[in-house]
Amino acid sequence: MDNAPFTLYGTTLAARLLLGTAQYSSPAVLAAAIKASGTEVVTVSLRREAGGNRAGESFWSLIRELGVKVLPNTAGCRSVKEAVTTAQMAREIFATSWVKLEVIADDDLLQPDVFGLVEAAAILSHDGFQVFPYTSEDLVVAERLIGAGCEVLMPWGAPIGSGRGLNNAFALQALRKRFPAVPLIVDAGIGTPAHAAAAMELGYDGVLLNTAVAKAGDPVAMARAFALAVEAGRVAYCAEPIPPRDMAEPSTPQLGRAFVELPRRA
Active site residues: 100
**Based on the number of CB atoms within 10 Å of its own CB, is 78 exposed (0-12), middle (13-18) or buried (19 or more)?**
middle
User: 3-class SS at 169?
Assistant: helix
Task: Assign 3-state DSSP to the chain and report helix, strand, coil percentages, each to 5.
Answer: 40, 15, 45
* Residue 179: C-alpha distances to residues 72, 140, 146, 172 (Å): 25, 12, 10, 11
Rounded to 5 degrees, what angle do the CA atoms 136, 140, 143 make?
95
Taking a C-beta distance cutoff of 8 angstroms, is the pair 197, 212 a contact? no
